[in-house]
């Protein structure tokens, strides 16, 4: 895993916090609680408010916008909060603070619970690609050969053709998978346009290569296909409820 310097430990107040923009395109919050340091996503998972503008008493972090709260030791939601904070592995070395960049595969809902061996093989297949804001990843009718995992940034979807288009109603965040038609039979073409709405980094994997890995790991393959069916059902329900 890549080690990324964030700051000097002396920059973080005792029982305080501070956020930093990083070279990997994400904002990271560093918090101090006594002798311990923690690293989390810098934006609230609710409405992207900067968490360092909130309140922190050395144990509980509170977003000032809608009062969502988290346990600083675990990132677990407290009270009104409906989602945990994404935690980064932190290294405190000789007065400097680093975070380790892990693969988005490990936080992906699609690959949750997959064996370490399968994750390692998939990670070796993945191509990490960076895109500028407003870049189109694929359009309607393009070949559905690859699937994508969002590592940082945001991706938005448009359905329809020509002047009869509409937003699909959702945007993706880190670890979420899209383009999963590459894992399905008889779905050779894209049915929506995918575009980055801010600078984004993605992992891109060829669908056929992924299926080969899953065929060699039957237990992991079964798990992924069950989770894929759940993702498809969730998105179909979100569209049907519009």
At the top level of CATH, which class does the domain 104-240 belong to? mainly beta
Query: What is the pLDDT at residue 31?
Result: 97
Which among 37, 74, 70, 78 has a CA at the least distance from the CA of 54? 70
Residue range(s) in the chain whose domain bears CATH number 2.102.10.10: 2-101
Q: Give yes or no for residue 242 having a pLDDT over 50.
A: no
Residue range(s) in the chain whose domain bears CATH number 2.60.120.10: 104-240
Give the residue-averaged pLDDT of 103-120: 85
Characterize the bridge pairing of strands 200-206 and 127-131: antiparallel
35 contact partners, CB below 8 Å, separation of at least 6? none
Q: How many CA atoms lie within 13 A of 45 on its CB side?
A: 19
CA distances from 221 to 117, 119, 208, 233 (A): 12, 11, 13, 18
Question: At 158, is the secondary structure helix, strand, or coil?
Answer: strand
Residues facing 33 on adjacent strands? 36
Contact of 224 with 114, CB cutoff 8 Å:
yes
Q: Does this model's pTM top 0.85? A: no
Query: What is the pLDDT at residue 166?
Result: 52
For residue 47, the Cα-to-chain-centroid distance in whole angstroms is 15
Q: Give yes or no for residue 167 having a pLDDT over 70.
A: no
2 against 28, higher pLDDT? 28
Helices 116-125 and 207-216: angle between axes, nearest 10 degrees: 160
pLDDT digits (tens, 9 = 90+) for 133-152: 999 999 999 999 999 999 88
Q: Give yes or no for residue 172 having a pLDDT over 90.
A: no
Query: What is the pLDDT at residue 143?
Result: 95
Contact of 156 with 167, CB cutoff 8 Å:
yes
- Of 38-47, 119-128, 217-226, 231-240, least confident by mean pLDDT is 231-240
pLDDT confidence band for 68 (50 / 70 / 90): very high
pLDDT digits (tens, 9 = 90+) for 179-215: 989 999 888 899 889 999 888 889 999 999 999 999 9
Contact of 72 with 85, CB cutoff 8 Å:
no
Average pLDDT, the chain: 88
Q: What fold characterizes domain 2-101? A: Rieske Iron-sulfur Protein (2.102.10)
The two counts, helices (H) then strands (E), for the chain are: 3, 18
Share of the chain above pLDDT 70, in %: 90
Query: What is the pLDDT at residue 158?
Result: 86
Give the residue-averaged pLDDT of 16-39: 91
Q: How many CA atoms lie within 13 A of 165 on its CB side?
A: 13
CA distances from 143 to 43, 92, 183 (A): 35, 46, 12
Q: Give yes or no for residue 169 having a pLDDT over 90.
A: no
Q: Give yes or no for residue 164 having a pLDDT over 60.
A: no
Give the residue-averaged pLDDT of 204-229: 95
């Amino acid at each position: 895993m890549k080690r990324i310097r964030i700051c000097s430990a002396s920059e973080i107040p005792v029982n305080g916090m501070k956020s930093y923009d990083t070279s990997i395109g994400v904002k990271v919050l560093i918090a101090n609680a006594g002798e311990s340091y923690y690293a989390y996503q810098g934006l609230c998972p609710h409405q992207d408010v900067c968490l360092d503008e909130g309140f922190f008493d050395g144990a509980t972090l509170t977003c000032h916008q809608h009062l969502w709260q988290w346990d600083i030791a675990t990132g677990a939601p407290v009270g009104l909060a409906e989602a945990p904070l994404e935690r980064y592995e932190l290294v405190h070395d000789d007065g400097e603070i680093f975070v380790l960049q892990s693969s988005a595969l490990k936080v992906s809902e699609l690959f949750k619970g997959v064996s370490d061996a399968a994750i390692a093989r998939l990670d070796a297949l993945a191509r990490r690609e960076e895109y500028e804001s407003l870049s189109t990843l694929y359009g309607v009718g393009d070949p559905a050969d690859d699937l994508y995992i969002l590592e940082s940034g945001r991706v938005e979807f448009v359905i329809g053709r020509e002047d009869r288009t509409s937003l699909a109603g959702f945007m993706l965040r880190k670890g979420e998978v899209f383009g999963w038609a590459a894992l399905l039979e008889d779905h050779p073409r894209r049915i929506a346009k995918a575009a980055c709405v801010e600078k984004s980094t993605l992992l891109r994997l060829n669908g056929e290569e992924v299926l080969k890995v899953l065929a060699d790991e039957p237990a992991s393959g079964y798990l992924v296909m069950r989770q894929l069916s759940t993702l498809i059902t969730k998105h179909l329900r979100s569209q049907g409820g519009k």
